[in-house]
Amino acid sequence: MTEFITDVVDPARLTGYVRAAVDGMLPFGGLLPARNVDDIEYEISQIDTTGAGQVARYRSWDTAPPLGKRPGIAIIGGEIPPLGLSMRLNEKDIIRLNKIRAGIAERSDQGVVETIYGDAVNTAAAVQNRVTIAHGDLLTTGSVTLTELGDVEDPETNAVVATFDVPGTQMGVTPAGAVWSNHAAAVPVFDLKAWEAEYRRNNGGRNPDAWGISSEIMADLVLNTQIRNLAPVMGTIPGIISEATVAQVLRAAGVNAPLVVMNDVERPALDGSGVGRVIDERKVIGLRAGIGATLFGITPNAATLAGNGRIAFRDAPGIVAFVQQSVRPAAIMTTAEGVVLPVLTDPNGLFVATV
């Protein structure tokens, strides 16, 4: 049996503290902004924009206009899974906390409260780390793979996967010629123009807002022969050009979306193998505003705290932090958790190439 400890550490104050502390720790939060939902289920309407570019017809007077075709709408949905981490107090801190609760604490015992707040921030940051890994997964595969929920003996094969219907012609794309690390033979200008043409076919004539790349890819482009040949200086071809010149050349050559270096984000790996990229350095990702969201639902513990008046119900969605005590075994744990899933609300808006 467990119970919430609320007399020493107020759950509402602790939750507000950790939310402020980890705010801004989702580097892809601008692409996949947080959206609170008062449930653990989600439902998304996906509009087919491939036929959105219709053309009206001239008509004779006293005749009715022809009928257009409304874009198709697909409804997808699923369950938002729970996510969290706990930190256990050691035996000495358990004694100190109970002395505070009994009103017999000494000044030195107050440090346990600071320990709890520190644990709450660290566990909330761990939640944000896992969400960032999920963001990287979604932006490179069009799906979110939850290996933790699969068969423990074969998690990679039997993982739970939330899949979104990105057009097949916009996933697994490769350059028409050489890979971009081949500076002499690669033709990134032609590749990007061809990819934008395919993007427009699936998006009612719209181009992506940006192409997300890594710093390694940008380093390739400043040395690329095709781009340097399009950027003569005083009649000579430069051996190396600046990132600004790369942008100018691509724009002048007819590439509509700018390059944005965004794929360098690193986080601890799930398997404990160290810190690594959450997006592969060789990915080029076409994006546009409104592509998706990060859904935050309500955990059972948050619902209980709200039902008991310990936190406001409006604050129940999102990361919540609290302290619980169990009797068997005797333990006091600080937890930060949420019900979280990033989703694509506009799957046609994602384009992923490997260069």
Q: Are strands 331-344 and 292-296 parallel, antiparallel or unpaired?
A: antiparallel
User: Looking at residue 51, what is its pLDDT?
Assistant: 46
Whether residue 45 has pLDDT greater than 60: no
Q: How much is the average pLDDT of 99-126? A: 93
Residue 298: name the closest of 73, 65, 39 by CA.
Answer: 39
Q: Which residues pair with 286 in a beta bridge?
A: 211, 351
Mean pLDDT of the 311-328 span: 92
**Does residue 64 surpass a pLDDT of 90?**
no
DSSP 279-293: S-TTEEEEE-TTSEE
**Burial class for 254, CB neighbours closer than 10 Å (0-12, 13-18, 19+):** exposed
The region of weakest confidence among 66-70, 154-158, 318-322 is 66-70
More confident residue, 175 or 59: 175
In terms of pLDDT, which residue wins out, 146 or 232? 146
> What pLDDT does residue 74 have?
46
> Which tens digit of pLDDT belongs to each residue from 210-230?
999 999 999 999 999 999 999
DSSP annotation of 178:
S
Return the SS3 of 218: helix
Averaged pLDDT, 65-74: 51
Average pLDDT, the chain: 88
Residue 322 and residue 4 in contact, taking contact as beta carbons nearer than 8 Å: yes
pLDDT tier, 149 (very low <50, low <70, confident <90, very high otherwise) = confident
C-beta atoms surrounding 312 within 10 Å: 11
Domains observed in the chain = 2-48+78-166+290-354 (3.15.30)
Burial class (CB in 10 A: 0-12, 13-18, 19+), 84: buried
Read off the tokens for 131: 């969400």
Over residues 132-156, mean pLDDT: 83
pLDDT in tens, 174-204: 999 999 999 999 999 999 999 999 999 999 9
**Backbone dihedral region of 144: left (phi > 0), alpha (psi from -120 to 50 degrees) or beta?**
beta
pLDDT of residue 43: 57
How high is the pLDDT of residue 65? 65
Question: Over the stretch 250-302, which tens digit does the pLDDT of each residue have?
Answer: 999 999 999 999 999 999 998 888 999 999 999 999 999 999 999 999 999 99
Task: Name which of 135, 132, 160 is nearest 145 in CA terms.
Answer: 160
According to the model, what pLDDT value does residue 59 have?
59
Q: Quick check: 49 and 71 in contact, CB under 8 A?
A: yes
Cα–Cα distance between 311 and 201 in angstroms, integer?
Answer: 48
160 - beta bridge partners?
146
Confidence category of residue 75, pLDDT binned at 50, 70, 90:
very low
pLDDT tier at 69, thresholds 50, 70, 90: low
Question: Checking phi first, is residue 290 left (phi over 0); if not, alpha (psi -120 to 50) or beta?
Answer: left
b/e sequence 27-46, b meaning 16+ C-beta within 10 Å: bbbebbebeebeebebebeb
- Which two tokens mark 13? 């104050």
Whether 70 has a pLDDT exceeding 50, the answer reads no
Phi-psi bin for 103: left (phi > 0), alpha (psi -120 to 50), beta? left
Dihedral pair phi/psi, residue 100, rounded to 5°: -65, -45
Beta strands, E only, the chain? 2-4, 34-36, 41-47, 73-79, 82-88, 143-146, 160-163, 210-213, 259-261, 266-268, 275-277, 283-287, 292-296, 320-326, 331-344, 351-354
Other CB atoms closer than 10 Å to residue 109's CB: what's the count? Answer: 17
Q: What is the pLDDT, as a whole number, of residue 162?
A: 86
C-alpha to C-alpha distance for 272 and 314, rounded to whole angstroms: 35
* Per-residue model confidence (pLDDT) at position 72: 44
> For the chain, first and last CA: distance in Å?
54
Name the least confident of 62-71, 111-120, 319-328, 346-355. 62-71
